[in-house]
Chains A and B, each alone.
Chain A
């Protein structure tokens, strides 16, 4: 490999981004990719993960193919690259109109960054065109989603393996994620057919996020706690909740107390979801009450407080969500509100999307009788995700083994929740125990560590000064003028 390139990573960084120094963990990953090695990088949220896939191509030339399991995330990344002035970027996904897609496909070679989804990747005509490209390396973003053990398992992601397997001369693969257990890392290496991958695993510890655990009797007590504390201390912050209904309910309570809050969940129109994010970024909203639909791709550096109103279904999910606080490095707080009943709800939600073994047998039978899989899924009353999971495993394992696999997956999910319950009910330094769930330990004990080590929120949080009044409806002429920063006479 060209050693001058690897030696001069610093000047490459300066030239491309204008920065003088890499952040911790970035340089090794970038060097490994430039050297053509399969690479797995586990970098905590806010560590500058995207630079790891954005920089090497400037040394290597060609096109980077970034496979992303989430459409919204893909759009965000494309937007962010464009914002930085990168013109040679495109996304090949199901959002595109047929005409648009044809245009992207016709100009594939032009792009430096090409984002796509696993579903697109395996479509024969797209796959064929992609194979003609000079691909510098392939990136699997949010790679933990490929692991069946991950909280975010996306069965479609597994198709990437088939696609990779069909490549004659496979370019190196870079798998990026913020959180992955050992099991998940093994899955990633395996499913992406990696050859002796370089592993760069950084502790998910975020010393600037203090961790608080509050045990309460139930939902009402949680509501009370939230209202009392949010009237006293300022955000901005996110409250993660279990359901759409709870998101609306809490946001309503907060608004009744003159605190600017909004709900965010998958049941809202796309435009409204963007508006809520917009308002939060702008500081027009102080709190977002969100289901786990919120967060991936949100880039607000000064989030000061993450509150969990429910028990996250896995340690990885918990760490990922609290990691959205304090990306600017400022002192932040995460609070887990726990009550005894939470375990059951979490277990119900986590396994809700997972089909029962009997259902697998039923679907298998329907298919054997020549029924369409969609129709069979409808008969069995399966969600779309559940149907994709079944369809994937039926294809590969056959009915009997697929049914056993469902049991295995359900058991693994229950175990993850069990370990979260033990975490929430246990004693001792919360930071150490949370990291312990991944097999890490804290590098050092920060001054504001956790509520078990002694934590005074008053030293971290900012006292709410005045209740802000809610803006009414502006007159339309006035609003148009202020949107454009013009006075009425112009």
Chain B
């Protein structure tokens, strides 16, 4: 899927309720309460953190292309929505195969390890012990070095070649896509191509190539998890997010479970109260056993839910008007719990007509 199509897909999900920044922060994987909440509310998991080093300029260019093509438009308040033609285009899109929520940019680590392992095996098998590593990251270098004394020990170059070929074969991707993917790999006497060079050879924009590359990694990693092979599984170790919580929120959750109140946690951790609130929203989103009753009365919870369903909105400002007696924090928590209780699996799609169904994400 092209970058523009991805952006259109994201906008189809936040249709009329968010500004363009929401899509930008989502793609960059910003760990703020707002972005995590949006991800949950609008089922944006596939796109979370898909392009951590996305430049605002590149994003704006794509956004303006969609505006100019009449696929999207902005309301007076600046929120963005799909036009009729945008809806048609979004509905005709193939399934989203990204899985950003699971990997959160860590697919890059898998690729860096793979690229260095391939380069090392390639050089060693040609009898060349000194070469300039394709990654300068000392952590990746050490990871790969360790593999040469464990899983790669005694392996023949053909073994890694075979694993890569059969695993990619099994992942069911198009040959052209995989050729573009393999072109980034470096070996003895054959360097990988830069994005610029790859773009010149294929006629595909650098941006679209990068999106395709991330998607390829997600598809491959998902497939690899089901059919692991020894070397590749070792290269992919730790790449998938174990806990859906960010590191800082995890710590807050532990302290809360240990009996500390929000104020104590803020004080002990020397964090702002708003940060701790963000953590609690994140926990409410991710922890099936989150005790919402500690934060809001059951009747308030029910009233807010009903109102949100009736107005078909998850906009805080709208709900705050209806419930002036509740704090924003309480509203956020209640919204975070929608679909979480009463036996719901948490991933039912509250989509509106015209919203493409979303596939393939899991925590």
Which residues of chain B from 156 to 182 have any CB-CB distance to chain A below 8 Å in the complex?
Answer: 157-158, 160-162, 164-165, 168, 175, 178-182
A484 touches B160 (CB 8 A): yes
**Residue ID in chain B nearest A475 by CB atoms:** B179
Question: What residues on A are CB-neighbors of B256 within 8 Å?
Answer: none
Which residues of chain A from 469 to 490 have any CB-CB distance to chain B below 8 Å in the complex?
Answer: 470, 472-477, 479-486, 490
A276 touches B194 (CB 8 A): yes
Bound complex: CA of A269 vs CA of B130, how far in Å?
A: 24
A278 touches B178 (CB 8 A): no
Bound complex: CA of A96 vs CA of B139, how far in Å?
A: 7
Determine which of B162, B187, B200, B201 lies in contact with A483 in the assembled complex, contact meaning CB atoms within 8 Å.
B187
B138 touches A483 (CB 8 A): no
B122 touches A484 (CB 8 A): yes
Determine which of A84, A274, A472 lies in contact with B201 in the assembled complex, contact meaning CB atoms within 8 Å.
A472
Proximity bits, B113-148, A CB within 8 Å = 1, else 0: 000001001100110011111111111001000000
B197 within 8 A of A: yes
B165 touches A268 (CB 8 A): no
B135 touches A274 (CB 8 A): yes
**Residue ID in chain A nearest B194 by CB atoms:** A272
Bound complex: CA of A274 vs CA of B135, how far in Å?
A: 7
A279 within 8 A of B: yes
B201 touches A473 (CB 8 A): yes
B106 within 8 A of A: no
Determine which of A72, A95, A284, A479 lies in contact with B137 in the assembled complex, contact meaning CB atoms within 8 Å.
A95
Question: What residues on B are CB-neighbors of A271 within 8 Å?
Answer: 134-135
B224 within 8 A of A: no
B346 within 8 A of A: no
How distant is B51 from chain A, measured CB to nearest CB, in Å? 12
A216 within 8 A of B: no
Determine which of B125, B132, B181, B193 lies in contact with A485 in the assembled complex, contact meaning CB atoms within 8 Å.
B125
Given A100-B139, A262-B194, A490-B161: A480 touches B182 (CB 8 Å cut-off)? yes
**Residue ID in chain A nearest B145 by CB atoms:** A82
Given A271-B135, A279-B191, A490-B158: A483 touches B185 (CB 8 Å cut-off)? yes
B190 within 8 A of A: yes
Interface of B is mostly: helix
Bound complex: CA of A437 vs CA of B181, how far in Å?
A: 50
Given A269-B195, A472-B201: A486 touches B158 (CB 8 Å cut-off)? yes
Bound complex: CA of A490 vs CA of B156, how far in Å?
A: 11
Question: What residues on A are CB-neighbors of B121 within 8 Å?
Answer: 484
A275 touches B191 (CB 8 A): yes
Query: How many residues belonging to B are interface residues under a CB distance threshold of 8 Å?
Result: 49
B186 within 8 A of A: yes
B196 within 8 A of A: yes
Which residues of chain A from 453 to 473 have any CB-CB distance to chain B below 8 Å in the complex?
Answer: 470, 472-473
Bound complex: CA of A40 vs CA of B134, how far in Å?
A: 34
How distant is A400 from chain B, measured CB to nearest CB, in Å? 38
Interface centre among B121, B189, B194, B196, by most chain A C-beta atoms within 10 angstroms, is: B194
Given A262-B197, A275-B194, A277-B132: A483 touches B161 (CB 8 Å cut-off)? yes
A476 touches B191 (CB 8 A): no
Determine which of B125, B139, B201 lies in contact with A484 in the assembled complex, contact meaning CB atoms within 8 Å.
B125
Question: What residues on B are CB-neighbors of A486 within 8 Å?
Answer: 157-158, 161
Bound complex: CA of A488 vs CA of B121, how far in Å?
A: 17
How distant is A341 from chain B, measured CB to nearest CB, in Å? 29
Query: How many residues belonging to A are interface residues under a CB distance threshold of 8 Å?
Result: 44
Bound complex: CA of A278 vs CA of B190, how far in Å?
A: 9
How distant is A54 from chain B, measured CB to nearest CB, in Å? 16
Bound complex: CA of A79 vs CA of B138, how far in Å?
A: 10
Question: What residues on B are CB-neighbors of A483 within 8 Å?
Answer: 118, 122, 161, 185, 187, 190
**Residue ID in chain A nearest B160 by CB atoms:** A484
**Residue ID in chain A nearest B187 by CB atoms:** A483
How distant is B28 from chain A, measured CB to nearest CB, in Å? 15
How distant is B336 from chain A, measured CB to nearest CB, in Å? 30
Which residues of chain A from 82 to 115 have any CB-CB distance to chain B below 8 Å in the complex?
Answer: 83-84, 91, 95-97, 100
Question: What residues on A are CB-neighbors of B179 within 8 Å?
Answer: 473-476, 479
Interface centre among A91, A263, A271, A279, by most chain B C-beta atoms within 10 angstroms, is: A271
Question: What residues on B are CB-neighbors of A278 within 8 Å?
Answer: 132, 134, 186, 191-192
Bound complex: CA of A481 vs CA of B159, how far in Å?
A: 11
A28 within 8 A of B: no
Determine which of A72, A272, A279 lies in contact with B195 in the assembled complex, contact meaning CB atoms within 8 Å.
A272
Interface of A is mostly: helix
Determine which of B129, B165, B192, B201 lies in contact with A477 in the assembled complex, contact meaning CB atoms within 8 Å.
B165
Question: What residues on A are CB-neighbors of B191 within 8 Å?
Answer: 275, 278-279, 282, 284
A281 within 8 A of B: yes
A484 touches B158 (CB 8 A): yes
Bound complex: CA of A485 vs CA of B127, how far in Å?
A: 12
A281 touches B185 (CB 8 A): no
Which residues of chain A from 244 to 289 have any CB-CB distance to chain B below 8 Å in the complex?
Answer: 255, 262-263, 268-272, 274-279, 281-282, 284
A274 touches B136 (CB 8 A): yes
Bound complex: CA of A490 vs CA of B138, how far in Å?
A: 33
Question: What residues on B are CB-neighbors of A198 within 8 Å?
Answer: none
How distant is B145 from chain A, measured CB to nearest CB, in Å? 10
B158 touches A475 (CB 8 A): no
How distant is A233 from chain B, measured CB to nearest CB, in Å? 24
How distant is A56 from chain B, measured CB to nearest CB, in Å? 24
Determine which of A96, A470, A472, A484 lies in contact with B187 in the assembled complex, contact meaning CB atoms within 8 Å.
A484
Question: What residues on B are CB-neighbors of A83 within 8 Å?
Answer: 129-131
A91 touches B134 (CB 8 A): no
B183 touches A473 (CB 8 A): yes
Determine which of B129, B135, B165 lies in contact with A480 in the assembled complex, contact meaning CB atoms within 8 Å.
B165
A95 touches B178 (CB 8 A): no
Interface centre among A282, A284, A483, by most chain B C-beta atoms within 10 angstroms, is: A483
Interface centre among A75, A470, A486, by most chain B C-beta atoms within 10 angstroms, is: A486
Bound complex: CA of A95 vs CA of B130, how far in Å?
A: 23
Question: What residues on B are CB-neighbors of A473 within 8 Å?
Answer: 179-180, 183, 201-202
Given A275-B186, A474-B183, A475-B175: A484 touches B197 (CB 8 Å cut-off)? no
Determine which of B129, B134, B136 lies in contact with A75 in the assembled complex, contact meaning CB atoms within 8 Å.
B136
Bound complex: CA of A208 vs CA of B69, how far in Å?
A: 59
Bound complex: CA of A475 vs CA of B196, how far in Å?
A: 19
**Residue ID in chain B nearest A71 by CB atoms:** B136
Bound complex: CA of A272 vs CA of B130, how far in Å?
A: 20
B53 within 8 A of A: yes
**Residue ID in chain A nearest B210 by CB atoms:** A269
Proximity bits, A195-210, B CB within 8 Å = 1, else 0: 0000000000000000
Determine which of A282, A284, A490 lies in contact with B162 in the assembled complex, contact meaning CB atoms within 8 Å.
A490
Q: A481-B161, A483-B161 are in contact. List 12 more A-B contacts (CB 8 A).
A: A83-B130, A100-B142, A269-B195, A272-B196, A275-B192, A473-B202, A480-B164, A480-B182, A481-B165, A483-B190, A484-B187, A486-B161
List 5 interface pairs A-B (beta carbons < 8 Å), by A numbering: A270-B136, A272-B194, A473-B179, A482-B187, A485-B188
B residues adjacent to A (C-beta < 8 A) = 53, 118, 121-122, 125-126, 129-139, 142, 157-158, 160-162, 164-165, 168, 175, 178-183, 185-197, 200-202
- List 8 A-B pairs, minimum CB-CB distance, nearest first: A483-B187, A484-B157, A476-B178, A272-B194, A476-B182, A484-B161, A83-B130, A278-B191
